[in-house]
A and B are shown apart, each in its own frame.
Chain A
Amino acid sequence: MPPQLRLLPSQLSGKTPYLCTQCRYASLASATTPAPPLHQTVSAVSPVSHYPLTQPPSYKPPEFRKSQLHRQYQSLLRSSPLILLFQHNNLKATEWSGIRRELRNALKKVDEALAKEGKEMAGEGARLQVVQTGILASALNIVEFWDPKYEAEGQGTRPTDPTTNTSAVVENTRPDDATDPAFTHGLSRQAWSMSSQKAKSTPSELTPLLSGPIALLTLPTTSPQHLATALSILAPTKEFPAPKRRVNAAYHEKPVQDGVAKLMLLGARVEGQVMDMAGARWVGGIKGGMEGLRAQLVGMLSGVGASVTSILESAGRNLWVTIEGRRGMLEEEEKGESGEEKGENGEQKVE
């Protein structure tokens, strides 16, 4: 049974409730304008911006899918040092999901092995994605040929920058006009015109690959171990054999095998350098990853150092040997001369 509320008869009559007079005065006091903060009294308020700093007006309407893909591909190309290009020939959704699952599992194993050694893990960030080829080609042009030089611009001259003072001389830019040369971001008209001009005169080496259906495998770090595993899953060869049926039965299921047969490795972009299939496999074949490569380099350099010291030493040693030899010869000659004299004397005696 719910508790009964006992109300007083005065509460039922609908009288105005009691109000504290002090509280009323306090509510009136809050209506006065507070004093401006100290930093606003010292420096000027920044000019009003019509667009946020992170969203300057774009040349193409930003609500279009292709504008967003263009931005996304630019950041993908800038942020992933290791990219593998594949052609995908009519893969089905089940085949894609199977391949992605196998790739994820294989990279996870590499991550676990590396985590035991306390090394970097990058397998989580690896992605195999289908891209729009034309938009990727345009984004690649921007990444390769457009250098906005943000550092040279200097701080505190942009109206959107909160550190800019009102007294600063700012070029008059209209927020809805993306053709304005003041805008230097990747989707601006200036970036597009400059990069397309340069791409016409000196096209990127990757340009012939950018046609037809393209899928990208992007890795967030240049890690040969992860690349070798990815190659053994996506494009198995003798050097990078696919996992055995006993070890990984799921890889040998029909959808995965059909999908792998339809993926063609075309090339790679490793830290801005374009490589073909053999180049990609060479990077994957670096033993022990980047640390292995560093160890090889150190070994080579120390070997060079040792040989340099031995060469420098050998010059001194040669000199010492020749001088010693010469001294020996002179001593022998001196001895020989005295002996010959004796001999001559002896012969003379015989005659």
Chain B
Amino acid sequence: MLTKYLTGVTTAFSPFNAHSGKIIRSFLALLPPNARSTMAIDVKMFGQSEAQKPAMLTLKFMLEDGKEMQVDVEKMKLTDIEIEVDRHSRMLKRKDELSG
């Protein structure tokens, strides 16, 4: 997954939810080791009683683009999220290469 153009990850979920919790946790595990220094990561976790509360995952991209991507965790799988992030990052990369 291309994470170079990702500047912010905001998420709220319950790890006790077998579907959304699993996807979001796996997504967070995909971020590189230095992710905390290159992007703002805000993780909020609910408890066991709020496992059915709707989970939220918002991704922010580079400032020139400023796109905020709302990920529908209920419908998308981890591979779908990866594909979406890669698609947008490749677009930004092309712009970057043309301008620079």
Binding site for B on A (CB under 8 A): 87, 89-92, 205, 207-209, 211-213, 258, 261-262, 264, 266-267, 274-279
Since A276-B15, A276-B48 are in contact, a sample of 10 more A-B pairs with Cβ atoms closer than 8 Å, ordered by chain A residue number, is A90-B29, A90-B32, A207-B18, A208-B17, A208-B51, A209-B15, A264-B28, A276-B47, A276-B49, A277-B47
A92 to B51, CA, bound (A): 31
Contact between A267 and B15, CB atoms less than 8 A apart: yes
Interface string of B11-46 (1 = CB under 8 A from A): 000011110011001101101110111000001010
Interface of chain B residues 49 through 63 with chain A (CB within 8 A): 49, 51
- Chain B residues with Cβ under 8 A from A262's Cβ? 33, 36
Contact of A87 with B31 in the complex, beta carbons under 8 Å: no
Q: For the complex formed, measure the closest distance between the CB of A215 and the CB atoms of chain B, giving whole angstroms.
A: 12
A267 close to B25 (CB less than 8 A): no
Contact assessment for A212 and B29 in the assembled complex, using a CB-CB cutoff below 8 Å: yes
| A277–B45 touching, CB < 8 Å | yes
- B33 CB → nearest A CB, Å: 4
Knowing A258-B36, A276-B48, say if A87 contacts B25 (CB, 8 Å).
Answer: yes
A213–B15 CB distance below 8 A: no
A212 to B42, CA, bound (A): 19
Across the two chains, which residue of chain A brings its CB closest to B41? A261
Tell me which of B22, B33, B51 contacts A212 (CB under 8 A).
B22
In the bound assembly, the distance between CA atoms of A91 and B45 in angstroms comes to 20
Find B28's partner among A89, A209, A267 (CB 8 Å cutoff): A89
Q: Closest residue to B50 on the A side, CB-wise?
A: A276
Given A262-B36, A279-B48: A89 touches B18 (CB 8 Å cut-off): no
Known: A277-B45, A277-B47. A90 touches B33 (CB 8 A): yes
Q: Which residue of B22, B47, B49 is within 8 Å of A208 (Cβ)?
A: B22
Residues of chain B within 8 A (CB-CB) of A89 are 28-29, 31, 35
Contact across chains for A90 and B21 when beta carbons are under 8 A apart: no
Name which of B29, B35, B36, B49 has the most chain A CB atoms within 10 A of its CB.
B29
In angstroms, Cα B94 to Cα A251, docked, is 42
Question: Given contacts A89-B31, A91-B33, is CB(A212)–CB(B26) below 8 Å?
Answer: yes
A87 touching B47, Cβ below 8 Å: no
- Rounded to whole angstroms, the CA-CA distance of A262 and B18 in the bound complex is 21
B residues less than 8 Å from A209 (CB atoms): 15-16
Cα–Cα distance between A266 and B26 once the two chains are bound (Å): 13
Residue pair B48, A211 in contact (C-beta under 8 Å): no
Q: Which of A92, A211, A258 has the most CB of B within 10 A?
A: A211
- A211 and B28 contact, CB distance less than 8 A: no
Alpha-carbon distance A277/B44, docked complex (angstroms): 12
Once bound together, how far apart are the Cα atoms of A267 and B46, in whole Å?
Answer: 11
Please measure, in the bound complex, the distance between the C-alpha atom of A335 and the C-alpha atom of B8, giving whole angstroms: 93
Give complex CA distance A250, B31 in Å: 26
| Interface contact A208-B28, CB-CB below 8 Å | no
Pick the residue among A207, A208, A211, A258 that contacts B26 (CB under 8 A): A211
Whether A261 pairs with B45 at a CB distance below 8 angstroms is: no
Write out the residue numbers on chain A whose beta carbons fall within 8 Å of the beta carbon of B31: 89-90
Q: B28 to chain A: which residues have CB within 8 Å?
A: 87, 89, 264
The 5 closest A-B pairs by CB, nearest first: A276-B48, A276-B47, A208-B18, A90-B33, A266-B15
Give the residues in chain B near A276, CB-CB below 8 Å: 15-16, 47-49
Q: Which residue of B lies closest to A203 (CB)?
A: B18
Query: Are the C-beta atoms of A213 and B29 separated by less than 8 Å?
Result: yes
Residue of B nearest to A88 (CB): B29
Complex interface: chain A residues within 8 A of B35 (CB): 89-90
